[in-house]
Amino acid sequence: MIRPGIAAMGLVTPIGTGKAAVSAALFAGTRAGLVPRDDLIPGRTVFVGAAAEAPPGLEPGPEPRNNRLMRLALDQIADAVEQAARRFGRDRVAVLAGTSTAGIAEGEAAFLVRRRTGAWPENFHYRQQETGGLGAFIARSLGLEGPAYTVATACSSSGKVFGSARRLLAANLCDAVVVGGADTLCRMTLGGFAALEAVSAGLSQPFSANRDGINIGEAAAAFLLTRDPAPVSLLGVGESSDAHHVSAPDPEGRGALAAMRAALDDAGLEPGDIGYINLHGTGTPLNDAMEGKAVAALFGPATPCSSTKGMTGHTLGAAGACEAAFLWLALHADSNPDGLLPPHLWDGAADPAIPPLALTVPGSRLAAGGDGRAAMLSNSFAFGGSNVALVLGRGDWS
């Protein structure tokens, strides 16, 4: 299987927009992007990860905020994508996007107008909240004519697009792929997680004995993948579908373990080759317990790891792409010349029921490899046991 180079990356997160701003915040560690909101769950104030204000839509009619956030990420890779389109042909550049909320927020706002006035607002159309709209939007925005579709597997959506993109390249159905994901805040998502009693009463505390749930966030990230070498490459993808329960993970982490092991096997690596793990780390009691067991079983207690959701909140369908972007920043010499690792932000109260993990602190660094290479892994686990683990690396892995 080929190892695509990740030639370009753009992102919008609660801790910043663009590589420079996000790098500075990510490696220092900040919770400034988590802000209190009282307009998302009736009668309750919750912390959420709020991203930058998105620009107005450029197409006729209003664009969902999901698309507008993605446009901010696409702007950061547009030159690289245009070069690929001219080199390969626009019909040879594919698009794969992941989302779960799409334009639900716009549907909510339109429904409130209809309830108040008895009529739908003139600028609302159902297609604004279609799940599959994100991939088509990206293709239109960049003038691409290759295969374009959207993956929606809840919180693993934009992690799974990397595997799909690599398969398209391997099958010679395209020569380059724009991949990514976007999700934005909406009342239905917050209400749903609140109904599951999974929303934290304050700031989320991943892997803490005091953890009580998640903070929901929003983000967008976009990448350009080609067969050409690049400073950061996609080395391996591992997917599993344990189908343990519609909303609860397998308590022993069997699906998570299978995905991570498959990613290592796919990359041709051993656990000791991984220098850092970006944990799924939602801050819910069940997720963190099972992931801790799975990570400890495969990697032991010494591999540095952290949950960046302590900074951004859980960005749902965008989480896989957002956290892959964090690996890209950590691996790329221009973004991270000092080899820093994202710190794990929490209250420091270790849960004795979770096996010990090497949770990073501010200033933690990637151990120097003898050959200058490094590999990192990121986990994304979703409802229904839809799991994916990605391995990214730098240097010559041919």
CA–CA distance, 370 with 376 (Å, rounded to integer): 16
Are the beta carbons of 98 and 318 closer than 8 angstroms?
yes
Four-CA torsion 176, 163, 306, 322, nearest 10 degrees: 50
Neighbours of 359 (CB within 10 A): 20
Are the beta carbons of 316 and 101 closer than 8 angstroms?
yes
Are the beta carbons of 393 and 373 closer than 8 angstroms?
yes
Is 174 annotated in the active site?
A: no
Residue (of 173, 221, 177, 157) closest to 387 by Cα position: 157
Q: Which two tokens stand for residue 65?
A: 């905020």
SS3 (DSSP) at 391: strand
CA–CA distance, 67 with 122 (Å, rounded to integer): 20
Residue (of 266, 272, 230, 233) closest to 393 by Cα position: 233
SS3 (DSSP) at 293: helix
Active-site position among 280, 322, 332, 344: 280
290 burial type by CB count under 10 A (0-12 exposed, 13-18 middle, 19+ buried): buried
Are the beta carbons of 346 and 205 closer than 8 angstroms?
yes
CA–CA distance, 180 with 160 (Å, rounded to integer): 10
Active-site position among 155, 174, 186, 305: 155
Residue 199 is classified by DSSP as B
Is 155 annotated in the active site?
A: yes
Is 314 annotated in the active site?
A: yes
Q: Which two tokens stand for residue 277?
A: 């793990």
* CA atoms 334, 339, 345, 351: torsion sign: positive
Active-site position among 186, 305, 314, 332: 314
Catalytic residues: 155, 280, 314
